[in-house]
Amino acid sequence: MKLELRGITKRFGSLVANDNINLTVNPGEIHCLLGENGAGKSTLMNVLYGLYHAEEGEILLDDVVQDFAGPGDAMAAGIGMVHQHFMLIPVFTVAENVMLGHEETTFGGRLNMTATRKTVRELSDRFGFDLDPDALVEDLPVGVQQRVEIIKALSKNAQVLVFDEPTAVLTPQETDELMLIMKQLRDAGTAIVFITHKLREVREVADRITVIRLGKVVGEAEPTATNEELASLMVGRAVDLMIDKGPADPGAPALVVKDLSVIDHVGQMVVNRVSFEVRAGEILAIAGVQGNGQTELTEAIMGLQQHVTGEISLDGKPLNRLSVNKVLNSGVGFVPEDRNVDGLVGDFTVAENLMLDRSDGEPFVKFGNLQLGYLATFAEEKVEQFDIRAQGIRTLVGRLSGGNQQKVVLARELSRELRLFVAAQPTRGLDVGSIEFVHTQIVAARDAGVAVIVVSTELDEVAALADRVAVMYRGGIIGIVPGDTSRDVLGLMMAGEHHDSRGAVA
Amino acid sequence: MTDQPTNEPNPGLSSSGMSDTGIAHLEGPLVSTGPVEPEPPSRWRVAMNEIMGGSIMISILSIVLAMVAGAILIAVTDKTVQATAGYFFAKPGDMLNAVWLAVSGAYSSLFQGSVYNFRREGFLNGIKPFMDTLNFATPLIMAGLGIGLGFRVGLFNIGGRGQMLIAIAIAGWIGFALDLPAGIHMIVAVIGGLIGGALWGGIVGLLKAKTGAHEVITTIMLNFVAFYLVSFLLRTPGALQAPGSNNPKSPPMKDTVVFPPLFGERYSVNLGLVFAIIAVIIVWWILERSSLGFKFKAVGYNPNAARVAGINVGAMFIWSMVISGALVGLAGVSQILGTVTTGFSSGIDAGIGFDAITVALLGRSKPWGIFWAAILFGAFKAGGYAMQAAQGIPIDIVLVVQSMIVLFIAAPPLVRAVFHLPTPGVFRKRTKIEAV
């Protein structure tokens, strides 16, 4: 089925989210929609899916004008959508989730599970998904849950499939598998719209690329275009993907971790006798597939984990068994993995979030009183310095885009006197422009003589930042290698293969 | 005075304090997303949207809607209206007239019983109902502040009854058993009550912080513990029971401990109102200006982020419940030292601990909001009796109106839909905005 969008314009008040957008997707083609966060990609797809009604323009399927009043109409017309956040019911089985919304019943209103199971099996076999229709969705890994979403769409005979930022939640391996699935679907004649801001993925699967910026189509690109070309098209200016990073000038060991183990709340050993050190003025990247103990390791350093054994010391002073507050006060900055859950209070203003971890004493508090005047001056200054785009310092942080939220976290953490800076997934979900900014700030912290730990699952990020790389696998450090180690070697280590230079300090 | 808890807390209410922003969040990122930076909407439009779609307007409109619902109920239950409805198609005027008489009579007697009575001679007599309103509002302000403070920390304190009773037991015992000079006696009793409430609330905070026990369960259970403990003490000679009596009732308060009237013996308003206003100011300072309040709110909005930012979440639970309990306890103190000074029984809390939940919701957990909400509820209480006496309308109608107010407040989208209000954070096209 051929999908065509003609002159779509969607406004929210004075904001034009989509401005006269034209887009054609042919059957058997993967069409990439590339753009920064907030460029209007998701709005466009919500128009296509009937969630929004466009002020101008029309949607055509096989040259027939469509009028969608809601997602139901869009689905019936053959459009399927795989959302970034899965629309699955965790306690239902795969088959139950697939049939949800168009349940087939037999006599007496009983659900026809047999037929649905058969559909799931057929589709699953056709694309090599290896899905058990009776498995509970909550027991499945994220990557497999996504396949359930895909099957859900296909079971409704979707001819046009929209993937909205599908790789944001996936590990590198799962991403690769998804790419394969998309290619299979394409070869089977499905028209695919792939929304993303990750350049590597675009170049890997796209047949055609349309770049959107500020609600407008700013150009089409070939999959052969370089990362730099695509990035500058997206951002509207030249972007340095490899930031300028001089050689590290490491000083004395700052953070020393010895035999650290962490047992989580269900009694599992999630970090297993880990030892390493980070010197002042160097960046140690901790690479690894999500869920191999990196999160717990950083939380243990911050004092956020309950059952920790081993030793952690910063500049010779022990850090373990201190409260979070004391850890922060001994000069540790922390960018948590999930900024919305752990890093920011969405209902607080920008200014309030900038003092979140300094609510105990001067300069923000005197004799129990908040120093609102000082806070305002401080916040204005940081908003300026970190280029936080908000209407003002009284804007609620929950209303900002991901990139600006992360800038608030960075501004807060980097405005203290630091000895150690721990950044967990500092650029997750951010667009190219913001990634560049975050990376520059991290390198600046290093150059100022701070010991830096960056936890990342993205090899690009590891390569861009690391002076040394520690790879974690199943709770242990499988090896510490120099920052310029090749992707292949790192990939193997992330999969658990020991490297020759295991344990060697670069 | 009815002793029954009038507004049984409804679990569905618990999320209402925050639910009004749900839609705004959904739409929010589309409007103010970073890289796309169109000209920001003008200040006036922002302000307009805040007021029209915001919380104060919702509160007022909820009151209006609830009054309308109450009017319908009054009309339907009125005997004359029922009789005239029988021949409505023959003479519709009769029924419409009866409806008008019933509703206007009810609401005017509600007004005269709570604000100003025109039938009495002179301003000083006419204003008496308003003074009664203030008197009824006094404990509601105090307890409402306590519950509201809990809401801001994300805690649902249903233990108002228990905290009041313990505060009353301690302050009451000080009030009838000790001999102290006037003034000092009163201050000691008030402090005793504050400590009692703080203790009973603090237990809840401590249990939550140390064991994770949910405050809704523990506060309800502690209500029973307090109720039967105080009942037992009231039946035990030498404890709280009045000497020489078999009734489960305490001796009257000594004169040295009773709150003096504020505007002369003519009116029921007493020093308690001053305590209530001081409490409003202190709670406002805690929430808006103190570092403690900053931490309270951080925990209330996002306990995870608070913990990562080094805030001791458990300590915040404990302190907020201590303060919350103390404020609710103060309401108990004002009951026995201000309103019912002739000795108390175990029904002395008069359901104020539960009404306070409603007051805190109506006041959006903001100190001055709670102040005005409590005055409104005080007016309903004062006027309800007048309405029953004058028009024979059951006081339950007032309770229905009170409950409807909370119901509407809990569902802001419903109120917005009824009045065609814009959703906060979402700007319609210019033409439509100007038409509003």
Token look-up 């003002």 returns A392
Percent of chain A with pLDDT over 70: 96
Instruction: List all residues 6 or more positions away from B297 whose beta carbon is below 8 Å from its beta carbon.
Output: A345, A348, B152, B153, B287
Give the confidence band of A361 by pLDDT, cuts at 50, 70, 90. confident
Given this model, what pLDDT does residue A504 score?
A: 44
Calpha distance A419→A477 (Å, rounded): 23
Per-residue pLDDT of B283-297, as tens digits, reads 999 999 999 999 999
Calpha distance B35→A436 (Å, rounded): 14
Calpha distance B202→B225 (Å, rounded): 15
Out of A38, A334, A372, closest to residue B36 by CB? A38
Calpha distance A59→A376 (Å, rounded): 48
> Which of A38-47, B13-22, B36-45, B243-252 has the highest average model confidence (pLDDT)?
B243-252
Angle subtended by helix axes B55-77 and B396-409, to nearest 10:
150
Question: Does the pLDDT value for residue B41 go beyond 60?
Answer: no
Out of B37, B289, B308, closest to residue A342 by CB? B308
Q: In what order do the strands lie in the sheet with A3-12?
A: A15-25, A3-12, A56-61, A64-66
Q: What are the CA-CA distances from residue A34 to residues A169, A234, A465, B66 (Å)?
A: 18, 7, 25, 51
Helices (H), B78-159: 79-85, 92-114, 122-126, 128-152
Are the C-beta atoms of residues B27 and B426 closer than 8 Å to each other?
yes
CA B115 to chain centre: 19
Q: What are the CA-CA distances from residue A8 to residues A23, A192, B6 (Å)?
A: 9, 19, 55
Are the C-beta atoms of residues A361 and A310 closer than 8 Å to each other?
no
Given this model, what pLDDT does residue B44 score?
A: 55
Nearest-5° Cα angle at B50, B48 to B55:
130
Calpha distance B431→B436 (Å, rounded): 9
Kindly tell me the sign of the dihedral angle through the C-alpha atoms of B343, B349, B351, B356. Answer: positive
Q: Which tokens hold the place of B329?
A: 């306890």
Min Cα separation B29/chain A (Å): 6
| Mean pLDDT over the full length of chain A | 87
Q: Which tokens hold the place of A445?
A: 């912290």
Give the confidence band of A52 by pLDDT, cuts at 50, 70, 90. confident
User: Using CB atoms within 10 A of its CB, is residue A206 exposed (0-12), middle (13-18) or buried (19+)?
Assistant: buried
Give the confidence band of B141 by pLDDT, cuts at 50, 70, 90. very high
Given this model, what pLDDT does residue A240 score?
A: 67
Given this model, what pLDDT does residue A111 score?
A: 83
Given this model, what pLDDT does residue A499 score?
A: 61
Answer yes or no: do A359 and B33 touch at CB < 8 A.
Answer: no
Are the C-beta atoms of residues A278 and A253 closer than 8 Å to each other?
yes
* Cross-strand partners of A34: A196, A211
Answer yes or no: do B40 and A17 touch at CB < 8 A.
Answer: no
Calpha distance B273→B141 (Å, rounded): 9
Instruction: List all residues 6 or more positions away from B364 whose beta carbon is below 8 Å from its beta carbon.
Output: B17, B55, B56, B59
Give the confidence band of B14 by pLDDT, cuts at 50, 70, 90. very low
The structural domains of chain B, with segments of one domain joined by +, span 142-379
Min Cα separation A37/chain B (Å): 7
Answer yes or no: do B308 and A324 touch at CB < 8 A.
Answer: yes
φ, ψ for residue A269, nearest 5 deg: -80, 105
Pairs across A and B, CB distance < 8 A: 142
Nearest-5° Cα angle at A396, A393 to A397:
90
Calpha distance B47→A394 (Å, rounded): 14
Given this model, what pLDDT does residue A200 score?
A: 81
Give the 3-state secondary structure percentages of chain A, helix then strand then coil, rounded to 5: 35, 25, 40
Calpha distance B273→B285 (Å, rounded): 18
For A353-377, what is the mean pLDDT? 92
Per-residue pLDDT of A154-174, as tens digits, reads 888 889 999 988 877 676 777
Give the confidence band of B196 by pLDDT, cuts at 50, 70, 90. very high
> Which of A164-178, A299-313, A428-442 has the highest average model confidence (pLDDT)?
A299-313
Calpha distance B281→A87 (Å, rounded): 47
Kindly tell me the sign of the dihedral angle through the C-alpha atoms of A388, A391, A393, A397. Answer: negative
b vs e for B256-295, b when ≥16 Cβ sit within 10 Å of the residue's Cβ? bbbbebbeeeebbbbbbbebbeebbeebbebbeebbbbbb
* Cross-strand partners of A349: A396
Count of H helices and E strands in chain A? 16, 22
Instruction: List all residues 6 or more positions away from B276 whose beta carbon is below 8 Å from its beta carbon.
Output: B137, B138, B139, B141, B142, B334, B371
Answer yes or no: do A323 and B297 touch at CB < 8 A.
Answer: no
Count of H helices and E strands in chain B? 20, 0
Out of A343, A356, A399, closest to residue B298 by CB? A356
Answer yes or no: do A16 and B38 touch at CB < 8 A.
Answer: yes
Chain B residue numbers touching A36 (CB-CB < 8 A): 35
Calpha distance A257→B419 (Å, rounded): 62
Are the C-beta atoms of residues B162 and B223 closer than 8 Å to each other?
yes
Calpha distance B99→B261 (Å, rounded): 41
Give the confidence band of B37 by pLDDT, cuts at 50, 70, 90. very low
> Which of A28-37, A44-53, A238-247, B333-342 has the highest average model confidence (pLDDT)?
B333-342
φ, ψ for residue B209, nearest 5 deg: -65, -40
Answer yes or no: do B41 and A14 touch at CB < 8 A.
Answer: yes
Question: Does the pLDDT value for residue B80 go beyond 70?
Answer: yes
Per-residue pLDDT of A73-95, as tens digits, reads 888 899 998 887 788 998 999 99
According to DSSP, residue A463 is labeled H
For B111-138, what is the mean pLDDT? 91
Q: What are the CA-CA distances from residue A305 to residues A145, A299, B178 (Å)?
A: 29, 6, 52
Answer yes or no: do A341 and B304 touch at CB < 8 A.
Answer: yes
Token look-up 């403990």 returns B229
Most A CBs within 10 A among B291, B428, B432, B436, hence the mutation to make, goes to B291
Are the C-beta atoms of residues B341 and B172 closer than 8 Å to each other?
no
- The DSSP line for B222-235 is HHHHHHHHHHHHHH
Cis peptide before A363 (omega within 30 of 0): yes
Given this model, what pLDDT does residue B43 score?
A: 57
Q: State which amino acid sits at residue B201.
A: G
Are the C-beta atoms of residues A2 and A61 closer than 8 Å to each other?
yes
Q: Which residue of A has its CA nearest to B33?
A: A401
Domains annotated for chain A, with CATH where assigned, are: 3-235 (3.40.50.300)
Per-residue pLDDT of B222-257, as tens digits, reads 999 999 999 999 999 888 999 888 889 999 999 999
For B346-351, what is the mean pLDDT? 91
For A233-244, what is the mean pLDDT? 75
Residue predicted with more confidence, B421 or B247: B247
Interface membership of B19 toward A (CB under 8 Å) = no
Helices (H), A107-209: 113-126, 142-155, 172-187, 199-205
Given this model, what pLDDT does residue B52 score?
A: 47
Instruction: List all residues 6 or more positions away from B194 whose beta carbon is below 8 Å from its beta carbon.
Output: B167, B326, B329, B330, B333
Per-residue pLDDT of B166-178, as tens digits, reads 999 999 999 999 9
Most B CBs within 10 A among A239, A324, A393, hence the mutation to make, goes to A324
Per-residue pLDDT of A172-201, as tens digits, reads 777 888 898 899 899 989 999 998 877 888
Question: Does the pLDDT value for residue B28 go beyond 50?
Answer: no
For B89-116, what is the mean pLDDT? 89
Give the confidence band of B46 by pLDDT, cuts at 50, 70, 90. low
Question: Does the pLDDT value for residue A431 go beyond 80?
Answer: no
Residue predicted with more confidence, B163 or B434: B163
For B1-26, what is the mean pLDDT? 37
- The DSSP line for B276-287 is HHHHHHHHHHHH
Given this model, what pLDDT does residue B25 score?
A: 35
Question: Does the pLDDT value for residue B79 go beyond 90?
Answer: no
User: Using CB atoms within 10 A of its CB, is residue A8 exposed (0-12), middle (13-18) or buried (19+)?
Assistant: buried
Give the confidence band of A336 by pLDDT, cuts at 50, 70, 90. very high
What's the complex ipTM?
A: 0.78
According to DSSP, residue B335 is labeled I
Answer yes or no: do A360 and B304 touch at CB < 8 A.
Answer: no
Given this model, what pLDDT does residue A261 score?
A: 95
